[in-house]
Amino acid sequence: MAQEPRDDAIAFHCRVRPLSNGSVSPKGANAPGNPREIVQSPFNYMIIVIHVALLAGLCGLVGNGTVIWLLGFRLKRNPISVYILNLATADFLFLSFTIVVALLLINNTGDPIELMLPVLSTSYLAGMVLLMAISTERCISALFPIWYRCHRPEHLSAILCAVVWGLSLCLGTTRLLCIYYEDFLYRQSHLVYVVTSFLTLLVLCVSSLTLLLRVHCGSWRRQTTKLYRLILLTVLAFLVLGLPLNVGLFINLFFPSLFDFHRYEPIFYVLSVLNSAVNPLIYFFVGRPRHQQGPMSLRDVLQSALTEDA
């Protein structure tokens, strides 16, 4: 028999009870150990949060869907485009189920939401690890260019993406089992999720900082390409929009007395939705030539962003 949803890694919505007046109360719903409550309230900021998530999700679906179509069927793939294709797929899945969750909440239907948590967890974690892989690989290529060209395995990108999806699916499956079997590895899976997120963020920050210093220091600065600008902007967007949720989850797990995480979790979650939605804008913004005369197809813009041409 399904248990009451608990502190999931990315799903504030499973702890939010739809209200009779269309709003929701995060405070009563998020109180640890308390059942979900129905609270009458003339206004609640959760209404805004849900609609912002819905709007951002719809816009992000269009952008990531376009990226998936172009990289999957219209462009010749290279090592970086394989990563970006998988990252766009992770963002697309995350935003798709975010939209479904938002619509369920708007229509006061909360029961099916917990079944979507494994997909949300899987896609969110996969996207974060893929971003770390992109940043780390480009950092290595910048620090050791000759070794990188000579020793990089031909299918490394595809292999790493397959490993990332496999591990993320394993964690998602475990979290699905937690819904049906009370206390089935719940604490362990939640700990693995948070620790994995923290280690991923640590590696991402170190590799991105190293790449940034390498790009803007010394004579190598002149060789900066659109590809490096794309990676740095994508990482920056994640640190600004995605980092608050991960830091909050880590603090809530190990230092719960520092601040009331559940009070601000919905806002952190919407920031993560915005992060998934803004990535396609970064790709096309970087790929657009500064002095382009006349219109340019999205295919050519994306191709320009994912090449090593300066």
Residue 1 maps to a domain: no
Give pLDDT, residue 214. 74
Residue 268 maps to a domain: yes
Angle (nearest 5°) at CA 195 between 189 and 200: 125
Q: Is it the case that residue 23 has pLDDT exceeding 50?
A: no
Q: Is it the case that residue 6 has pLDDT exceeding 60?
A: no
Q: What is the dihedral of CA 122, 124, 125, 129, to 10 degrees?
A: 130
User: Dihedral of CA 141/296/282/213: which sign?
Assistant: positive
Q: What is the mean pLDDT of residues 112-137?
A: 84
Closest Cα partner for 305 from 288, 292, 293? 288
CA distances from 114 to 58, 235, 245 (A): 21, 30, 19
**What percent of the chain stands above pLDDT 70?**
75
Cβ within 8 Å of residue 57, ≥6 positions away: 95, 96, 98, 99, 102, 273, 277
**What CATH number is given to the structural domain containing 102?**
1.20.1070.10
Residue 200 maps to a domain: yes
Q: Is it the case that residue 19 has pLDDT exceeding 50?
A: no
Q: What is the mean pLDDT of residues 237-245?
A: 87
Residue 65 maps to a domain: yes
Structural domain boundaries, residue 155 = 12-305
Q: What is the dihedral of CA 109, 117, 234, 166, to 10 degrees?
A: -150
pTM: 0.81
Closest Cα partner for 218 from 148, 142, 286? 142
Q: Given the structure tokens 């000579």, which residue do they identify?
A: 150
CA distance 72 to 307: 16
Residue 293 maps to a domain: yes
Give pLDDT, residue 122. 84
Query: Tens of pLDDT along 62-71?
Result: 999 999 999 9
DSSP secondary structure letters along 219-247? GGGGG--HHHHHHHHHHHHIIIIIHHHHH
Residue 289 maps to a domain: yes
Structure confidence at residue 89 as a pLDDT band (50, 70, 90): very high
CA distances from 173 to 56, 94, 97, 274 (A): 27, 16, 16, 26
* 111 or 153: which leads in pLDDT: 153
Residue 129 maps to a domain: yes
Q: Is it the case that residue 1 has pLDDT exceeding 50?
A: no
Structure confidence at residue 225 as a pLDDT band (50, 70, 90): confident
The count of domains in the chain is 1
Query: Which amino acid is it at 93?
Result: L
